[in-house]
Structure formats: C-alpha cells, structure tokens
Amino acid sequence: MKSSVFWALVRKDIYVLRGFMIITVAVGLAALVGMRFGRIGFAIGGILFLTANVAGGIFIAMYSLLTERKEQSNLFALSLPISGFKYDLAKLVSGYVGYGIPWSVLTAIGLAGYFMPYAAADRGMFVYGLVLQLFVMALFSFVLVWLFVVASEVLAGLVILISNICFSLFMVTLNQPEVTRPLHSPHIVWTPFALWAIAGELAVIALSTALALFALSRRRDHLRSL
C-alpha cells in the first residue's frame, strides 16, 4: 500500500467534516466576542457558545457515522484494503479528531479569556468553564459511541434525546448558587463539586471510548445500514 488506509480514511473524514468544524469554530468565536457586550451580549453569546459546542458535536458525530451508513458510502470505504475493525476504528478516531479540533480551539480561547485583565474579578469561573467544556466533550463521547453501537434510526434518535436531557439536567445542577458562589472569585478555587465533576466527565470519556473499542472488537458484520 502506498499510504495507510486507516489514516487515509481519517483524513477523508476530516475533509468531509471540514465544513462543520469551521462553522463550529466560527460561531463559537463570534459568541465569545459577543459575550463582551454587556449582560445581554453575555447571555446571548453564552447560549450561542454552548450551542456551537453541543450542536457541533452532535452534527459531527451524526454526519460522520450515520450519513456514511445512510448514503451507503461505507460500502465503498469497506471495499478498500482495510479490515472492518480498523475501518470502524478510523471512524472513531476521525470523530474524536473532527470534534476535538474545534472543541480544543474553543476551549482554549474560551478559558484563556478568564486570564485577561478584564476578567480578573471572575478568574475563579475558569473552573466553571472547564467543567462545562469537559461535560460537552463527555456528551460528545457518549453520543459518538452510542451511535456506533446502535443499529436503528429510532435508537439513534433516542441517544440524541438522552444526551439533550443530560445536558439540561447538568446545566440545572451546575447553575445552583451553592455550586457557582464559591467560583465567583478572583482566584481559581477547586471545589469538591468541581473536582468530582471533572473526574466524572473524564471517566465518561474513558468509559465511552472503552465501550466503543469493546463493541467494535466483537463485531462480526461490519456493514450496517441505518
């Protein structure tokens, strides 16, 4: 082989996903800029930033996996000299890379904002931002992995519905005064809630990835339609 089929498929997915990646970053950055324009700007920008993160992740996961199955271009990819397991693995990697790049850019720029002079009074909210962004990545992992595992459109819809409910519940929990009050500080404070939340989020990412690898290693038929 001239080049690794595995990486050729990953590069192909990134090429196909480039539009979603660019839009996610562009909307997220515009939202961050908007957050600097007063209370209303902060509120609208905040919602837009979260929407870009969450919706971007769901679109990337769905487009990367379901569209290829639905359009049956997976049959073309599977005709290349690659095993079914490695094809699935390439999809998993490209899903993480495809979302990981815009997520990393937005997370890095968003969190860096807390270290700007204008945000000095609220620097403690860095922890809030980190917990939130890690939750978004955990949610993406959950959606990506379950879309891998389920084989019907109805179940795929259910996965997305569950992810939306999880996000709403998490936002309600995260915005409780007893959670946010200690974070409104010029200093970074690692509260027990924040530490537990970060640990839980990292665990969800790790377990989701492990579940995906386990499911893929046991798969005997690699042609799935949806």
Partner 1 sequence: MTQQVSPQAFALRGVSKAFRYFKLENLSLELPLGQILGLVGPNGAGKSTTIRLLMGLMTAETGSIEVLGHRVPEQVAAAKAGVAFVSDDMRLFSGATLAWHMRFVASIYPEWDEAYARTLLKHFNLRAEQGVKGLSRGEHIKSMLLLALARRPRLLILDEPTSGLDPVARHELLTELMQIVRDESRSILFSSHNTLDVERICDQIAFIDRGRLVDARDKESFLDRWRRISLDVPTGVTLPRLKDVVNLTLGEQLATLTTDRYEPALDAVLQASGARITDVQRMSLEEIFVASVMRSRAEVQS
Q: In the complex, which residues of this chain contact partner 1 (CB under 8 A)?
A: 1-3, 5, 8, 12, 15-16, 19, 67-68, 71-73, 75-76, 78-84, 86, 220-223
Q: Which residues contact 144 (CB under 8 A, 6 or more apart)?
A: 61, 64, 65, 92, 95, 96, 99, 208, 212
- Minimum distance of partner 1 from residue 12's CB (angstroms): 6
- Minimum distance of partner 1 from residue 57's CB (angstroms): 19
HSE, CB side, 13 Å, CA atoms: give it for residue 156.
18
34 neighbors 111 (Cβ within 8 angstroms): no
Q: Is the Cβ of residue 85 or residue 167 nearer to partner 1 in the bound state?
A: 85
- Minimum distance of partner 1 from residue 90's CB (angstroms): 12
Q: Is the Cβ of residue 155 or residue 203 nearer to partner 1 in the bound state?
A: 155
Q: Is the Cβ of residue 9 or residue 35 nearer to partner 1 in the bound state?
A: 9
Q: Is the Cβ of residue 81 or residue 177 nearer to partner 1 in the bound state?
A: 81
- Minimum distance of partner 1 from residue 29's CB (angstroms): 24
- Minimum distance of partner 1 from residue 77's CB (angstroms): 8
25 neighbors 102 (Cβ within 8 angstroms): yes
144 neighbors 117 (Cβ within 8 angstroms): no
The 3-class secondary structure across 64-108, one letter per residue, is: HHHHHHHCCHHHHHHCCCCCHHHHHHHHHHHHHHHHHHHHHHHHH
Q: Is the Cβ of residue 73 or residue 173 nearer to partner 1 in the bound state?
A: 73
